[in-house]
Amino acid sequence: MRGATDVAIFTGIMDSVVYQTILADYLKPFISTVYPCGHRLWQDNDPKHTSRSTVKWMCQNGINHWPTPPESPDLNPIERLWAALKYHIRRRTKPKNKEELTQGIRDFWATVDPAMCVRYIKHIPKAAQLIVANAGGPAGH
């Protein structure tokens, strides 16, 4: 709710080791600066997020992870952020090469402020109500 970490742009395939490196290089410094009195990390159930080595790494590094239900994109605020990023890239940046794509990502990321984060996080209770009303099905938006 207090804003975004620095953006991590990389090439290649992300596995548990790469993910843990990103957590070490980006998340840990962010937490120590922005959340010195405690935090809760919300992530989806991607295998690299839930692997034994990642869970062990998070425990060893004091990352307070909140397990989420599998296949629950409506309850994950980062999904709304990814949708906004994709919209920005497709409609505004319209990159023709890797450099333009990278710059478009950085330009969008510079707009991710605490107010945007709060808006996406506060959407969760609304989505949860819709999921309950849909008997556990998707929120539909």
Burial of residue 63, with CB atoms counted within 10 A of its CB: 0-12 exposed, 13-18 middle, 19 or more buried: buried
CATH of residue 26: 3.30.420.10
Q: For residue 106, what is the enclosing H or E element?
A: helix 98-109
Determine what percent of the chain is predicted with pLDDT higher than 70: 98
Name the residue range of residue 45's domain: 1-68
Q: What pTM was estimated for this model as a whole?
A: 0.84
Q: What is the pLDDT of residues 26-55, one digit of tens each?
A: 999 999 999 999 999 988 888 999 999 999
Q: How many domains does the chain have?
A: 2
Q: Which residue has the higher pLDDT, 79 or 21?
A: 21
**Boundary of a domain, candidates 68, 90, 118:** 68
**Boundary of a domain, candidates 16, 35, 68:** 68
Q: Which residue has the higher pLDDT, 132 or 23?
A: 23
Q: What is the pLDDT of residues 71-88, one digit of tens each?
A: 777 888 888 899 999 999
